Amino acid sequence: MVPTAWDTDRTGDNPLRLGLLRCDEIDERFRDLAPSALELYRWTFETDGVRLVDYDVLAGELPEDPDECDGWIITGSRASVYDDEPWIRTLSEAVSRLHDARAPIIGICFGHQLLAHALGGQTARSEQGWGIGAREFETRVEGLPSPVSLLMSHQDQVIELPPSARVLGSSEYCPNAIFAIDDHAVGVQGHPEFTPEYMAALLRSRTGRIGAEPVARALESLDRETHGREVAAWLVDFVRRARADVRPDD
pLDDT in tens, 159-189: 999 999 999 999 999 999 999 999 999 999 9
- Higher pLDDT residue, 116 or 47? 116
Q: Is 109 designated active site?
A: yes
Report the share of the chain in percent with pLDDT over 70. 93
Residue 230 CA, distance from chain mean position: 14
Total count of domains within the chain: 1
Band of pLDDT at residue 129, cut at 50, 70 and 90: confident
131 pLDDT more than 80: yes
Please give the backbone phi and psi of residue 52, each rounded to the nearest 5 degrees, phi first: -95, 140
User: What are the residues whose beta carbons fall under 8 Å from the beta carbon of 175, sequence distance 6 or more?
Assistant: 167
Asked, for residue 4, whether it belongs to a domain, the answer is no
> Is the predicted pLDDT of residue 4 greater than 60, yes or no?
no
For residue 21, the SS3 value is strand
Q: What pLDDT band is residue 245 in, cutting at 50, 70 and 90?
A: confident
Contact indicator for 134, 151 with CB cutoff of 8 Å: yes
State residue 12's pLDDT score. 53
In a domain, 207, yes or no: yes
Q: Is 201:185 a contact under the CB 8 Å cutoff?
A: no
Q: Please check whether residue 3 lies inside any domain of the structure.
A: no
Mean per-residue pLDDT for 52-66?
A: 97
Note whether 228 and 194 are within 8 A (CB): yes
Give the model's pLDDT for residue 55: 98
Q: Is 64 contained in some domain? A: yes
Known catalytic residue: 99? no
Q: Is 33 in contact with 205 (CB distance < 8 Å)? A: no
Contact 8, 51 (CB under 8 A): yes
**135 lies in some domain:** yes
Is 65 contained in some domain? yes
Using an 8 Å Cβ cutoff, are 182 and 120 in contact? no
As a whole number, mean pLDDT of residues 130-155 equals: 94
From 99, 112, 154, 191, the catalytic residue? 191
pLDDT > 50? residue 10: no
Residue 8 domain-assigned (yes or no) = no
Q: Write the CATH number for 91.
A: 3.40.50.880
Contact 170, 181 (CB under 8 A): no
Structural domain boundaries enclosing 167 = 16-242
pLDDT digits (tens, 9 = 90+) for 74-127: 999 999 999 999 999 999 999 999 999 999 999 999 999 999 999 999 999 988
User: Average pLDDT in the 196-207 region?
Assistant: 96
Exactly one of 23, 174, 193, 227 is catalytic; name it: 193
Rounded to whole angstroms, how far apart are CA atoms 64 and 98? 10
pLDDT of res. 7? 36
Cβ-based neighbours of 85, under 8 Å, separated by 6 or more: 79
- At 241 the pLDDT is 94
The answer to whether residue 184 is catalytic is: no
d(CA 202, CA 29): 9
How confident is the model at residue 247, as a pLDDT?
A: 58
Where b means 16+ CB within 10 Å and e means fewer, 169-183 reads bbbebbbbbbbbbee
Residue 1 has pLDDT above 50, yes or no: no
Provide CB contacts within 8 A for 180, sequence distance 6+.
Answer: 165, 166, 168, 186, 187, 238
Please state the φ and ψ torsions of residue 97, each to the nearest 5 degrees. -65, -40
Catalytic-labelled residue, pool 23, 46, 69, 109: 109
7 in a domain, yes or no?
no
- pLDDT, residue 3, reads 44
pLDDT interval class at 5 (50, 70, 90): very low
Q: Mean per-residue pLDDT for 202-224?
A: 96
Q: What is the pTM of this model?
A: 0.91
CA distance 107 to 90: 16
